[in-house]
Amino acid sequence: MFRARYPFKSIRSYSSLTVKSLYEQLHQPRHDSISVDGWIKSIRLLKRIAFLDLQDGTSVNPLRIVVPLANADYVHFLKNLKTGQTLSISNAIWQDTPSREQPFELQIKDPIESIKIIGPVSENYPLQKKFQTLPFLRSLPTLKYKTSYLSAILRLRSFVELQFMHFFQEIHFTKVSPPILTSNDCEGAGELFQVSTNQLSSPSSYFGKPTYLTVSTQLHLEILALSLSRCWTLSPCFRAERSDTPRHLSEFWMLEVEMCFIDSINELTSFVETTMKTVIQSCLDNQKELLPKQFISLKEDDALSTSLDQERQDIITRWQTLASEKWQTITYTQAIEILKKNYNEVPLFKYEPIWGQPLQTEHEKWLAGEYFKSPVFVTDYPRVCKAFYMKQNSTPDNTVACFDLLVPGMGEIIGGSLREDDYDKLCKEMKERGMNKSGELDWYVSLRKEGSAPHGGFGLGFERFISYLYGNHNIRDAIPFHRTAAGSINF
């Protein structure tokens, strides 16, 4: 029997191999008998032989199993197998198949002996080949990740998370877990979920004051960065959004980074670019195990615009471009100039670009997708457009040291800034905005008095990034059991 790298001799689930582990041993195949478990992806009966494709969710590659139809009993047995059934296979023999699409297959002599059905499917099992459009799959929340297209996005997410962990560990960041339950409203946005117990009458009686789900862990991260120098988190965040778009979730995971001893916004954007490129390069290096050979046949609708191979190649090309080319950087003021010029020449936009007003999603998407055709950092927004904690520039234009990273097709995926570390300036800004009237943010401003440091950070919407990498542009596929404004929670 093959062995996994760790010594699980006594554990059937580890002596029985995953499909992934078989593919990992391509260059040193073994010729003793193999056991493997999984689900039937497809089955095809020819005259003398049957092809059984098995999947177990650990690999983008299916496992081809070849069964001889040597007698009527075998034919009868094989004919009763159904897509989606769970099988336990034993006594299979490795066979190299260099001339076929898949590099090897497993051969079975006696299917009745070697194939055990350990999980049934119903007569109406819905994952038959012909029905697999994305809208249809999204209507099957308990089954949809049995498809190779959607299970691949979960494995990509898991892989990307590990790459971030490696990277940050390597450069001495500590991963931390700031609270989800909080009494403060980081952004002042007001779109909060409130929390109460189901056994008490008053919403505030459990924790002593009104308690919310965090919209961003940044303020807490600042505390920890001022102790650890460099910290990051990947935490769920919550916004009671009214927006019901493929770019918005009510519950999403945010990768947030906070670090000390950083002085300029260009240091921060360089750091972001290095971080993201390192992760994207790892994806490129592992493209074979990350991207399925077959993309889903029909995506958003029945119209098939590109070939399946083309779609896979488009993703790889995008990763290559992202990893190798220098990302653009412009100031907000430059962005407005570019937008104004084009607004005047061609009426592209619904909203007129005006200095002092936020960029609209249409502006962001056009800048990254049409004008630069590249990720672009837009820096130094007007103070009034951004949050109270951003560091004020020393220039007289009333801007703050911040950036948004815009990417083609998706718009903003990262926002970051230096944080105001001047106690007096911070207090003045909060007062002008009518904040901290009852001292609820005294703890935050007090950080500027006890061993403060120049610091800054950023937040990356994790599902937006995964969805952008995978090229499907709907973040609801990048998280299992998505929570959105218009969606109901069925379980």
Distance CA 180, CA 213 (A): 6
Look up tokens 């969606």; give the residue: 487
CB nearer a copy of itself, residue 323 or residue 338: 323
Q: Which is nearer to a copy of itself, 141 or 409 (CB)?
A: 141
Which one, 1 or 11, has the nearer CB to a copy of itself? 11
- Least distance from a copy of itself to the Cβ atom of residue 384, Å: 24
CB 391 within 8 A of CB 420: yes
Least Å from the CB of residue 255 to a copy of itself: 12
Please list every residue from 241 through 260 that binds a copy of itself, using CB under 8 A.
Answer: 250-251, 253, 259-260
Min separation Cβ 209 and a copy of itself, Å = 6
User: What CA–CA distance (Å, rounded) separates 107 from 173?
Assistant: 49
* 192, 367, 414, 430: residue in contact with a copy of itself (rule CB under 8 A): 192
Q: Which stretch binds a copy of itself (CB under 8 A): 69-77, 177-185, 307-315, 342-350?
A: 177-185
**What minimum distance in Å lies between the beta carbon of 197 and a copy of itself?**
4
Q: Please, are residues 434 and 417 in contact by the beta-carbon 8 Å criterion? A: no
Task: Give the CA diameter of the chain.
Answer: 88
Residue 30 to residue 13: CA distance in whole angstroms: 19
With CA atoms as reference, report the closest residue to 112 among 95, 94, 93, 90: 90
Residues 66-95 that bind a copy of itself (CB under 8 A): 84-86, 88
What is the DSSP secondary structure assignment for residue 6, as one 8-state letter?
S
> Could you give the angle at the alpha carbon of 345 between the alpha carbons of 341 and 349, nearest 5°?
80
Find, among 14, 51, 423, 482, the residue nearest to 252 by Cα: 482
Q: Enumerate residues 389-448 that contact a copy of itself by CB under 8 A.
A: 421, 440-441, 443-444, 446-447
Spatial separation of the C-alpha atoms in residues 374 and 367, rounded to whole Å: 9
Of the listed pieces 65-73, 107-115, 137-145, 321-329, which binds a copy of itself according to CB under 8 A?
A: 137-145
Token look-up 């029997």 returns 1
Strand runs (DSSP E) across 395-464, as ranges? 402-407, 411-418, 455-461
- What kind and span of H or E run contains 24? helix 19-24
Q: Which is nearer to a copy of itself, 205 or 398 (CB)?
A: 205
x-or-dash string of contact with a copy of itself, 320-359, rule CB under 8 A: ----------------------------------------
CB-based contact 182:194 (threshold 8 Å):
no
Cβ proximity to a copy of itself: between 182 and 342 the closer is 182
The Cα 318–Cα 225 span in angstroms is: 34
- Cβ atoms of 54 and 62 within 8 Å: the answer is yes
Q: How far is the CB of 103 from a copy of itself (least distance, A)?
A: 19
Stretch that binds a copy of itself, among 53-61, 92-100, 298-306, 407-415 (CB under 8 A): 53-61
Q: How far is the CB of 425 from a copy of itself (least distance, A)?
A: 15
Q: Considering the complex, what minimum distance in angstroms separates the CB of residue 87 from a copy of itself? A: 10
Please, which residues bridge with residue 378 across strands?
330, 404
Segment 96 to 125, residues that bind a copy of itself, using CB under 8 A: 118-122, 125
SS3 58: coil
Q: Are strands 376-379 and 328-331 parallel, antiparallel or unpaired?
A: parallel
Size of the site for a copy of itself (CB under 8 A): 127
Site for a copy of itself in 285-324 (CB under 8 A): none
Contact 40, 65 (CB under 8 A): no
CB closer to a copy of itself out of 250 and 467: 250
Q: Are 418 and 377 in contact (CB under 8 A)?
A: no
User: What crossing angle do the helices spanning 462-470 and 308-324 adopt, rounded to 10°?
Assistant: 120
Judged by CB under 8 A, the residue of 195, 316, 323, 435 near a copy of itself is 195
Stretch of 94-102, 229-237, 321-329, 339-347 lying at the interface with a copy of itself (CB under 8 A): 229-237
Q: Classify residue 423 as left (phi > 0), alpha (psi -120 to 50) or beta.
A: alpha
Q: Is 451 in the site for a copy of itself (CB under 8 A)?
A: yes
Q: 276: closest CA among 164, 404, 124, 384?
A: 164
> Which C-beta is closer to a copy of itself: that of 32 or that of 170?
170
User: Of 275 and 342, which has the nearer Cβ to a copy of itself?
Assistant: 275
Q: Which is nearer to a copy of itself, 16 or 399 (CB)?
A: 16
Q: Which is nearer to a copy of itself, 49 or 180 (CB)?
A: 180
Taking the alpha carbons at both ends of the chain, their separation in whole angstroms is: 41
Q: Which of residues 143-172 bind a copy of itself (CB under 8 A)?
A: 143, 145-146, 151, 154-155, 157-159, 161-162, 165-167, 169-172
Q: What is the closest distance, in whole angstroms, from the C-beta atom of residue 181 to a copy of itself in the complex?
A: 5
| Residue closer to a copy of itself (CB basis): 55 or 342 | 55
Q: Is the CB of 342 or the CB of 484 nearer to a copy of itself?
A: 484
